[in-house]
Amino acid sequence: MWRPPQKIKWKPDPGRWPAAAEAARSRLFSPLAAGPLQLATRTWVPAMVPWRATDDGFVTQDNVDWYARFAAGRPGAIVVEATGIRDVPSGPLLRIGHDRFVPGLRRIVDAVHEASGGETKVFIQLIDFLAIRRRPEPVKYLGQHLRIGERHRAALGMAGADDAEVRARLLQLAPQDLEAVLDARELEALRMGARERVTDLHLPHIRALPQVLPDLFAGAARRAREAGFDGIELHYAHAYTMASFLSALNDRDDGYGATLEGRARLPLEVLRRVREAVGRDVVVGCRYLADECVAGGSGVDDATYFGVAFARAGMDFLSLSRGGKFDDAQQPAVGGSAYPYTGPSGYECMPHHVSDDKGPFGRNVLATTRIRAALREQGLATPVVLTGGMHGFAQAEALLAADEADVIGFARQSLADPDWFVKVRSGRGDAVGVCIYANYCEALDERHEQVTCQIWDRLALDEPGLRKSHDGKRRLLPPAWRP
């Protein structure tokens, strides 16, 4: 992962822990009631992919155990990992593109409700993503996949040459000399792996996204309701399709890009179809970016416009993230896939403890609170979930007490210790395993390996009946907390 050049080492600073009575009086552990969004506390576990689904997208016992383990800590809400809305293979990521996935997903819902004594609400994050290929062997790309055209012949001064001759010549060129022959997308395909964009209007399936996606999201939302989820989080963030529609880099000329209104159009149409599919009593919110953190991308002003539009259209919550884009991702190894959390925008999304003078904690606070303040100025009371480097009670409580956020998301901190909530609430903050923001979890995610935390994954490996990672070296869940 990219790190800021300043390389300042930050230590987590959870601050003072409250006694049980103080926690009981706090905003953080007070209920939230906003239309269908009813939370017992203002705490939230944002979506985190743990790489535990089957290769064809079904829920496994490991998925069920994972969410039950988080629910034992009794956060206000858990958002189940990004789950694909299409009925197409996508490796060991959860899927909801067909009714056959419903029974497995229902097991997660039941497990969360049971392990939390009915206290924790469980939402599911619905995602669509476009095709991305692995970085190819140059010999394969230049020798087979690249479509040879007159442009290449002209650049090489090889008019009349056949494809095989052109390929042979390309294979002889030094990497920098290829820049004079290949266009930007071809160079990207060679160096990073080819990646579709929502602006590829020459591709019929990309042009048709606005016609296809509302029904796909609505079908997935209906299945989520059937599986018993308390709510749905539309994934409009990071490197994926819907965020790309919102992006300032979306210059589609078909009414679904170019202007703020055009960029917001498909996300609003998806919301409308989803709402028709699930009705008013299921929570429907979205996760989107307070700032894309890439050159030419959307910033806080754009995100404010979107937030107001989403709130007016009836989103039940807005969960703000930042960055996490392919645009500035690092080059993967040959045979590997680009990962959208390896560049500066990825750093903004999941900041590491080696940072700049802003540090990794609360990096999304300013942008999120600005967006929320704009909503309130317009008389919109939609709850806003603030996430990013949150790990201390005082830090979270101060934001809520100052009326700068409604709910606090703890992603890596709850992975480090899913009992954070129950411990802090019962006056046992001293027992919290504090996240060190070393991004061990994020590195596992990048390698598509089962996600665990270095704080607990080597503890008590001889515990009877323990479920371990594929290599047998790590436990898959933190040990139970016995107060």
Ligand X SMILES: Cc1cc2nc3c(=O)[nH]c(=O)nc-3n(C[C@H](O)[C@H](O)[C@H](O)COP(=O)(O)O)c2cc1C
> What residues make contact with ligand X under the rule CB under 6 A?
46-49, 81-82, 125, 235, 237, 287, 321, 349-350, 387-390, 410-413, 441-442, 445, 451
Query: Chain-centre distance of CA 10, in angstroms?
Result: 24
Nearest CB to ligand X, comparing residues 136 and 433: 433
Question: Of 438, 63, 47, which is closest to residue 238 (Cα–Cα)?
Answer: 47
Kindly provide the b/e burial profile for residues 107-121, where b requires at least 16 CB atoms within 10 angstroms of the residue's own CB. bbbebbbebbeebbb
Q: Outline where 52-180 has alpha helix (H).
A: 61-72, 102-115, 138-140, 150-156, 163-172
As measured in angstroms, the least distance from the Cβ of 155 to ligand X is: 41
**Using CA atoms, how far apart are residues 233 and 237, in angstroms rounded to an integer?**
11
Nearest CB to ligand X, comparing residues 84 and 136: 84
**Using CA atoms, how far apart are residues 381 and 312, in angstroms rounded to an integer?**
10
As measured in angstroms, the least distance from the Cβ of 270 to ligand X is: 16
As measured in angstroms, the least distance from the Cβ of 388 to ligand X is: 5
Nearest CB to ligand X, comparing residues 37 and 386: 386
Nearest CB to ligand X, comparing residues 178 and 221: 221
Query: 169 is written with which tokens?
Result: 């010549």
Question: Of 276, 279, 301, 281, which is closest to residue 289 (Cα–Cα)?
Answer: 301
Nearest CB to ligand X, comparing residues 360 and 429: 360
As measured in angstroms, the least distance from the Cβ of 80 to ligand X is: 9
Burial label, 240 (beta-carbon count in 10 A; 0-12, 13-18, 19+): buried
Contacts of 306 (CB under 8 A, 6+ apart): 246, 260, 263, 264, 267, 288, 298
Nearest CB to ligand X, comparing residues 345 and 387: 387
Nearest CB to ligand X, comparing residues 321 and 355: 321
Question: Of 368, 328, 353, which is closest to residue 442 (Cα–Cα)?
Answer: 353
Strands (E), 356-468: 384-387, 407-409
**Using CA atoms, how far apart are residues 396 and 407, in angstroms rounded to an integer?**
9
SS3 317: coil
Nearest CB to ligand X, comparing residues 222 and 352: 352
- The DSSP bridge pattern shows strands 37-39 and 8-9 to be unpaired
- The DSSP bridge pattern shows strands 318-322 and 37-39 to be unpaired
Burial label, 70 (beta-carbon count in 10 A; 0-12, 13-18, 19+): buried
- Beta-carbon-side half-sphere exposure of residue 386 (alpha carbons within 13 Å): 30
Beta bridge partners of 231: 123, 283
Whether the CB-CB separation of 347 and 333 falls below 8 Å is answered with no
As measured in angstroms, the least distance from the Cβ of 12 to ligand X is: 11
Nearest CB to ligand X, comparing residues 116 and 413: 413
Nearest CB to ligand X, comparing residues 47 and 78: 47
As measured in angstroms, the least distance from the Cβ of 84 to ligand X is: 11
Nearest CB to ligand X, comparing residues 291 and 442: 442
